Amino acid sequence: MKLAFFFPGQGSQTVGMGNVWYETHASVRQRFATADRILKEEFGFKKTLSALCFNGPDEILQETRVCQPALFMLGYAVAEHLKNSEMFKSHTIVCATGLSLGLLTALAVADVWDFEAALRVVATRGRLMQEACELQSTGMTALIGGTAEAIEQLCKEFDLDVCNRNCPGQTVVGGVCENLKAMQAVAKERGFKLAVPLKVAGAYHSRWMQPAREKFEVFLKDIPFSAPALPVVSDTTGEILTAPDVIRSELGRQLTSTVQFEQCLRKCAAFGFDIGLECGSGNVIAGLAKRTDATLKIQSMAEPKDLEVLKN
């Protein structure tokens, strides 16, 4: 069976995430323990990542500096367990990708970095993005329905950026919170079914992340990169990432560029995978895939019981 790995991004975190995996698999517990140590010693976490994932509080787990390493750690640990399991020997991984932060998880699973190096990259990314969010009150809104022309007009009129093109009929825009509220007030009049404010700290993948991008690019200059051991599809270009220098450049550019996840999903579909495995918390990517191409089958691996799909 041909499989593809998918890794979720910020917004899919929930209190209790990974708890069953932790309780039932020693390899997952080991990754949690390593993350707890590194984040406490090097990034000043007062509570362990394990405690925050399992017990919250939700407002702390939602912080950019916390939820990014949390989602990375869980996604990596689940994918690692799958790759090493006996049932996986009869399957082939044909590609991997991720939504925003999830792209870094995909790169780590493809051996661009080892777990500890990748965790440091992710934790630094999360810290810098949170710092950028604190410079100005910005946010994001999901627009459901509407035309590309209507979205372009709203962005021009209210000084917003297109942050995500997630799937047909779902686009996320970002900008100053005051402008987003004004836009939401007229969205239905402009042909949109819904305009839903997202629970995020700022306008990710927009010009407002430029301060984070500049610092992150400086940080990445000294980080060793290896070529991916399997095809990894960029979530902003829909192209396969191969050369280490290209990946390094892409990770900086990603912070201020529109996520083209519909395009990314279609590129992955071209690999002809039988089942996609969404490793981590929730089933956001499975939902986006269903709206993009009804033939795409993506299964959440939020809990060990979800492994049953690989036994059929």
Burial of 97 (0-12, 13-18, 19+ CB in 10 A): buried
* Catalytic (active site) residue 205: yes
List CB contacts of 166: < 8 A, sequence separation 6 or more. 142, 172, 259, 261, 262, 288
**What is the number of helices (H) and of strands (E) in the chain?**
13, 11
**Catalytic-role residue among 12, 50, 81, 100:** 100
d(CA 61, CA 69): 10
Please count the other Cβ atoms lying within 10 Å of the Cβ belonging to residue 152: 11
Please count the other Cβ atoms lying within 10 Å of the Cβ belonging to residue 286: 18
Could you tell me whether strands 259-260 and 161-167 are parallel, antiparallel, or unpaired per DSSP bridges? parallel
**Catalytic-role residue among 12, 50, 205, 206:** 205
- 8 A C-beta contact, residue 150 and residue 158: no
Q: Which helix (H) or strand (E) holds 100?
A: none
Residues noted as catalytic: 100, 205
